[in-house]
Structure 1
Amino acid sequence: MDSGSRTQHQRFLRLFTTHEPAIRAFVRRLVPTRTDADDILQEVAIVLWEKFDEFREGGDFKAWACGIARFKVLAWLRDRGRDRLVLDSDVVEVIAAQSLDQEPVLQQQREVLETCLKSVPAAERSLLARAYQPGAVIRDIAETSGRSVAGFYQWLYRMRQMLLDCVKRRLAPEGA
């Protein structure tokens, strides 16, 4: 790989890794399962890289990537049109447009939540992360934490409430 290609590749990776959570969230809002979103996001990443030469320097990478993701979701829906769990493409278009409109607010909420999570002690933050991993077995996590299953669910509820309160406080306008 020559120097120019390496620089182009590095630039793409920086932009993609920066915006991947938002692109993933956008796709996830449009399809029924996390697995579907993962499959579509892989396809989106390939198309983004293949078309990266068309992306203009200083442009809005996230908006560009979400536009490509929208088309990939629509193609995915077309291919699964007979599946009763799939939304009509017109509905997906409306949801996609609203999602893009809401993205700045959602991004701010994600950033504030990240800040709030940093205030949680590392051991508790680790338990929270384990509880929300795909395929997590709460019974096992509760046992390793020294709590009953019911006690662990209560703890999760209190942690979610604490994080929600923290996010609301940080997002509230001054003097509100």
Structure 2
Amino acid sequence: MGELGTINAPTSGRDKRQELFLQLLADSYADIEAYIRTLIFDRVDAEDVLQDVCVRLWKNFDEFEFGRSFRRWAFGVTYNVARQYWRNRKRSTGQALSEEALAKLSKVHQATVEIAEMRQDMLRECIERLPEADKSLVRKVYYRSNTVAEVARETGKRANSISMKLNRIRNKLSDCIERKMT
């Protein structure tokens, strides 16, 4: 028995597998949703496709190779579901996106994601190069979601002073990223 008289259920391999799947899906959900919205233009249809993708990801989770990127695997499944959506739409309405257009949209989306990931990596590197006091301020405001007023109270400084400091730090980080990109 656990605390307060509850019985701790044993965690089975299936439970762990399901827990892992749900964590991987949660971590990638926004990216999958954005990818679908790139490939499917109607909002309601995109939501239906997202549900279908989630079901297919779970049904095919045994095919996922650990060590690979879950997001990339999910994007492959998503692409195939989107292709099927456009085939079905062509049969039902006569309107469809060509395979070539779908492939181009997919490539553009993936390139956009890669650029965003590169910028995130550069931002992390630039933050690490900041003086410790600046890093601490960035962590308080952006990682811990403290307001400027909260940080001002905590540090005994004026909120205006904190805001100006954050603005200077943002400019430093922007310059650092620009230098890395050139």
Smaller-chain TM-score bracket: 0.5 to 0.7
| Alpha-carbon separation, structure 2, partners of 1:17 and 1:92 | 25
Corresponding position of 1:133? none
Whole-angstrom distance in 2 between the partners of 1:35 and 1:19: 20
Q: Give matches, 1:30-45, under 5 Å.
A: 30-45=39-54
Q: 1:6 to 1:77 in 2, by over 3 A?
A: same
Question: 1:99 and 2:105 equivalent?
Answer: no
Equivalent residue in structure 2 for 1:88, among 98, 105, 115: 98
Q: 2:76 aligns with which of 34, 45, 67?
A: 67
Task: Tell me, in whole angstroms, the C-alpha distance in 2 between the residues paired with 1:169 and 1:63.
Answer: 31
Aligned to 2:155: none
Deviation of 1:51 (Å): 0.6
Distance 1:71 1:109 in 2: 29
Q: Which residue of 2 aligns with 1:5?
A: 14
> Identical aligned pairs, as a percentage?
23
- Consecutive unaligned residues in structure 1, runs of 5 or more: 123-161
Q: Where do 5+ consecutive residues of structure 2 fail to align? A: 1-9, 124-137, 148-166
Higher relative contact order (CA 8 A, sep 6+): 1
- The range that moved more, 34-43 or 103-112, is 103-112
User: Is the 1:22–1:107 contact (alpha carbons within 8 Å) kept by the matching residues of 2?
Assistant: no
Alpha carbons 1:31, 1:37 under 8 Å: kept: yes
2:178 aligned partner: 172
Greater per-residue helix proportion: 2
Give the C-alpha shift of residue 30 in structure 1. 1.0
CA distance in 1, matches of 2:176, 2:11: 46
| Bigger radius of gyration among the two | 2
Amino acid at match of 1:172: E
Q: d(CA) in 2 for partners of 1:18 and 1:109?
A: 19
Aligned to 1:47: 56
- Distance change (3 Å), C-alpha of 1:173 and 1:33: farther
> Number of aligned pairs?
131
